[in-house]
Amino acid sequence: MTRKRRRLYVLLACGIGLGTATGLALMAFRDTAEFFVSPSEIATKAPAPGRSFRLGGLVEEGSVERITQNGRPTAKFRVTDGAGTVSVTYSGILPDLFREGQGVVTLGTMTTDGSFRASEVLAKHDETYMPKEVAEALKKTGHWNPADGKPPPASTWNTLAPKSPGG
Amino acid sequence: MDTVPIPAARRAPARNLHRFANPGQFLRLSGAVLPWLIALAVGLTLVGLGAGLFLAPADWQQGDAVRIMYVHVPSAWLASGGYMTLAACSVLSLVWRHPLADLAAVEIGPVGAGFTALCLATGSIWGKPMWGAWWVWDARLTSVLVLFFLYLGHIALVRAFDEPERGYRAGAILALIGVVNLPIIKFSVDWWNTLHQPASIGLTGSPSMHISMLWPLGVSSLGYTCIFAAIVLARLRAAVMERRIRALLSARAEAHR
């Protein structure tokens, strides 16, 4: 019995030690574990032009402009996190989920004029899952405009029974 | 004729944890439970996946691609849940020297690795059309890949010794060190910014998923859990029987000498 108890205590002590060490290591690597930086972080400490990094945020409403540059489809839009905004230029095909109000993560570099030149755009969708009819109902009643960003609190719609198109 | 030393676990009074250490009793009990568990696993999974693939509505922005969720999310939960059981078996093995926990840890490893592989593969298939990338090195994806490697390491380590006991000890220690990865997986989407979205279903708050998608996900998760348990139980029964046969064969070889 005492040997079992001793083994248990040794195990617990090891667990506390390991947990503390991991916690400290995670805190030390805090910044490097981030997948992207937000526009407001760029405003406070701008990365050097030419250094590649990921910029993430929401596509600002009404900012998307699609043009053709050198025969390639090019999109100009602004990425915002509420506190800061960065203009982004991207030549190439955007993911299907790309829209105003959607989260995006773009890989690229800052140019000398303070805008961001992206070589890759990824769409970041949120944790909301709702049928089309529910989304339409929320939009129609004015409870949610997807271009503004976040949907209303889940409890207001996750049991909502939409009228089916048939009746 | 000298007497065979009885292992310490046998001498201990048969109570609490060690009640199930009796191989005969375990085989009887698990033999009765297993058919029901398999029936439940097949039934729940068919209902859950059928409802998810055919009855549940498409997502307003992801369309039909959201249906990968009914395979991806349960396997992701099982990948972490399986590791938790592996860790629990490792504690039982290290502290109480439970013989059945040793065998269970050996048998959980490959099943957990399989579910983790399924989670990674379906996540990748889902990520390409939605995010625009098969794989990114964000904190969530990386920590789940680490979980997969922990499973593989455990599978290799428990089988690496001539003396099985040493493999069990080493494997248990590795499994317990790997436990630090579980909170990292869970909270990676909250602690750091990631491409992976945060959890839709939490212990507190309303799930940010419509009820028509939530119930098929719940049913398929229960089905997957039963599949996991059934496979582990079947493997564990095979391992116990194999051990018995080995003991019988060596006893017979001893008698005929």
Question: What are the tens digits of pLDDT across the range A137-156?
Answer: 888 888 888 777 778 888 88
Q: What confidence tier does B18 reach under pLDDT thresholds 50, 70, 90?
A: low
Instruction: Tell me the ipTM for this assembly.
Output: 0.86
User: What pLDDT was estimated at residue A41?
Assistant: 87
Give the gap in angstroms from C-alpha B65 to the nearest C-alpha of chain A. 12
Asked whether residue A60 is domain-assigned, the answer is yes
Of B95, B210, B211, the CB nearest to A7: B95
The token pair that represents A113 in the structure block: 């004029």
CB contact (8 A) between residue B192 and residue A131 = no
B205 at interface of A, judged by CB pairs closer than 8 A: yes
Q: Are residues A49 and A27 in the same domain?
A: no
Question: Is the CB of A122 less than 8 angstroms away from the CB of B58?
Answer: no
Same domain, residue pair A75 and A101? yes
A90 belongs to a structural domain? yes
**CATH code of the domain occupying B32-198+214-245:** 1.20.120
Does A52 share its domain with A11?
A: no
Q: Beta partners for A7?
A: none
Q: What range defines the domain where residue A5 resides?
A: 1-33
**Into how many domains does chain A fold?**
2
Buried b / exposed e over B30-61, threshold 16 CB at 10 Å, is: beeebeebbebbeebbebbbebbeeebbebbb
> What are the chain B neighbours of A159 within 8 Å (beta carbons)?
210-211
- Report the residue of A24, A31, A35, A122 to disrupt the B interface, i.e. the one with the largest count of B CBs within 10 Å: A35
How does pLDDT run across B168-227, given as a tens digit for each residue? 999 999 999 999 999 999 999 989 889 999 898 887 778 889 999 999 999 999 999 999
DSSP string, B97-160: --HHHHHHHHHHHHHHHHHHHHHHHHHHHHHHHHTS-S----HHHHHHHHHHHHHHHHHHHHTS
**Pairwise CB contact (< 8 Å): B207 & A96:** no
Q: With CB atoms and an 8 Å threshold, state whether B197 touches A126.
A: yes
pTM of the entire structure? 0.89
Both A66 and A3 in one domain: the answer is no
